Structure 1
Amino acid sequence: FGALLKGWPALLLLGVRRRSVWVSAALTGAGLAALFAVAMPGAFAFLTFQRDRGTEVESLGALVLHVARHFGWDGEVLLNYGSVEFVGPYVGWVSTGALLLSAAGFGWLVLWRLRATRFAPHTVADAAFVAVLVFVTTSRVISPQYMVWLVGLAAVCLGFRASRMRLPAGLVLAACLVTVLEFPVWFAHVVASDRLGIGLLAVRNGLLVAATLLAARALWSATVVPRRPALPFAPRPSRTDGTRVSSS
């Protein structure tokens, strides 16, 4: 999911209703993938690298390991696959948990797309914002560049007056301000897992979790019509003498 996040513009399709757009995008993607596979051997090796990555120290799951270091966990923080990651016992469990959260988020997005019936001009932007929020928040790696993507999508959402993403967008902006303090200003405290570092991560990731939940709820309520239970059969009214009233 971390690698797929770099293709976040494709998530704009979530809010598109026309099937022809989906078909065109699928054919274009398949054609480009085939071209890269033939012309550029090893073009998809990055997928293997992503599979082997651990839990980056700034991610949501990393908070568990940061706290565990204060209770005797003997893991290490190393530069691995271009990011600063935790290496040691139980890191695989945390990484698997993050993948399961991402899969659950993806499942919710699919369910939303199947249930959504009310589409407005801003739905495409709102859906893309929610989708990127879901995958950024649950990813094993949270890079500062991910926050840039979120700010850009939030700005597009706020360009529509009818968008319900104002509060989530504000939370994302606040998370960006905390991210600047967490990296690069006090990144050494994050790596050391001291109180300041853990506190910064807890605030930033907490803001992202809140933004994700609020944005998902707003998107669902704006586009999904609640299913009303079928009314029970009502018998025809009768006269006071017990004779049923005829409809003729």
Structure 2
Amino acid sequence: MSRDSTTRVLVLWGAFLLVHLLTALLGWVYPSQPMGDVVLVYEPWASAALGGGPIVGITETWVYPQLALVPMLLAAGLAAPLVPVLGVSSAYLVGWAVLVIVLDAVAFGVLIGRSPSHARRVAAWFWCGAVLLLGPIALYRIDAITVPLAVIGGLWLVARPMIAAALLTAGAWIKIWPGALVVAAVVAVRARLRVLLGAVVVTGGVLALLLLFGADTEILGFLTEQTGRGLQIEAVAATPFLWLAVAGAARIEYSFEILTFQVTAPGVDAVAAALTPLMMICVLVVAAIGAVKAMRGAAFPRLFPPLALTLVTLLIVTNKVGSPQFQTWLIAPVILWIVLDRARARTPAVIVLALCLLTCLVYPLGYDALLRAEALPVAVLTVRNVLLLVLLVLGIRALLRVPVRHPKLQE
């Protein structure tokens, strides 16, 4: 490895550590409790499971897939030695931050290696920029655990398809969105049978363990718990209703059942009810377009990135929930697009960076004003949601433009 290459790698690692440490510390400074879920929700769940109390996802229905409890327990283990010094809450926050940074570091190491190509260096800088712009929400949510799994899984899809699919499926059992990358991989990777096998093995193993621990109707609780949700204020579909709230014709209310703010107005329930079926239809249509491209000989580096990003963006745009941490879902597909096809990834990468910044301005920085339905934060959120729609359109356009060859000509 040349001296220049060594220097570039060291600079990248320095940027990675600086960005992650700064972002972790900002969680203690920013308003609106950007670390609130970690200490108010994750830590009590972990304590209950470790203390012989109810185990979410096993003894009671849970909003998350069951493997989400694993990093929460790991964070408790990392925090244990610090409890006498920092107290339970602060120690758990430190343990969570350490866990996320270590996982990100592993994925970052896989991304850049010892002598990264120019595309991988650009992807690494993009990742650092996205975390910095999104702020503490990029670290202090369960979604942060899935990002490094998605990055490693995506990078290994060609060389190690079964292991890659296993990682992505494990991520989906923590937070559902990496399942979109599994779908994209089944469509775009030639070794799709090995991808399917990796996904089936992990899913079968998780189900077997859950049944062994006594789970029954709780196994799919993370799906049924979502059906009754209203329209969260940050959701794309909630944007018109927020402007009604600004005008005094709608209300923002807190749901104690699912611990989030929702919008209440005539027509909201109908919109919320239509979103999940719309999501399923759109995902099937996009996957079908990708499948046709694959059958006609589309190359993996051209097909997989726009297909993966479009599917993930669809999960956000058609979601009843618009939580700020959803923007972390976009980081891995863009990293993979930069690595596989850097020239065509430029515009999506810029848009995702803008989405991260706008999201941070909404939450946590402008969230109190948003809850008061003030015009400025609603306008910022509107721009953010419009950009999500723009990203979706760009992804679909890129997918439709993927060149194809007849399979016989490929041979």
Q: What's the TM-score, normalizing by structure 1?
A: 0.78
Match of 1:24 in 2: 197
Q: Kindly indicate whether structure 1 or structure 2 has the higher relative contact order, using CA contacts under 8 Å at least 6 residues apart.
A: 1
Distance 1:119 1:104 in 2: 25
Q: CA RMSD in A?
A: 2.7
Distance 2:259 2:403 in 1: 40
Match of 1:11 in 2: 180
1:174 aligns with 2:378: no
Distance 1:71 1:177 in 2: 26
Are residues 30 and 148 of structure 1, via their aligned partners in 2, closer, same or farther at CA, if it must alter by over 3 Å?
closer
Distance 1:69 1:149 in 2: 28
Match of 1:54 in 2: 230
Match of 1:94 in 2: 271
The correspondence for 2:312, drawn from 128, 132, 136, is 132
Match of 1:211 in 2: 391
Distance 1:75 1:144 in 2: 20
Contact 1:78 1:87 in 2 (8 A): no
Match of 1:34 in 2: 207
Are residues 3 and 221 of structure 1, via their aligned partners in 2, closer, same or farther at CA, if it must alter by over 3 Å?
farther
Q: Any gaps of 5 or more consecutive residues in structure 1?
A: 227-248
Distance 1:89 1:107 in 2: 30
Q: Percent identity?
A: 25
SS state at 1:77 partner: strand
Which letter maps to 1:84? F
Question: Could you say which structure has the higher helix fraction?
Answer: 2
Larger Rg: 1
Are residues 70 and 149 of structure 1, via their aligned partners in 2, closer, same or farther at CA, if it must alter by over 3 Å?
closer
Match of 2:329 in 1: 149
Are residues 218 and 183 of structure 1, via their aligned partners in 2, closer, same or farther at CA, if it must alter by over 3 Å?
same
Moved over 6 A (4+): 2-5
Are residues 25 and 95 of structure 1, via their aligned partners in 2, closer, same or farther at CA, if it must alter by over 3 Å?
farther
Are residues 26 and 187 of structure 1, via their aligned partners in 2, closer, same or farther at CA, if it must alter by over 3 Å?
same
Alignment length (residue pairs): 225
Distance 1:104 1:192 in 2: 35
Q: What's the TM-score, normalizing by structure 2?
A: 0.49
Contact 2:245 2:252 in 1 (8 A): no
Match of 1:104 in 2: 281
SS state at 2:395 partner: helix
Shift of 1:223: 4.4
Shift of 1:54: 1.0
Q: Any gaps of 5 or more consecutive residues in structure 2?
A: 1-62, 66-171, 407-411
Map residues 154-233 of structure 1 onto 2, 5 A cutoff. Answer: 154-161=334-341, 164-223=344-403
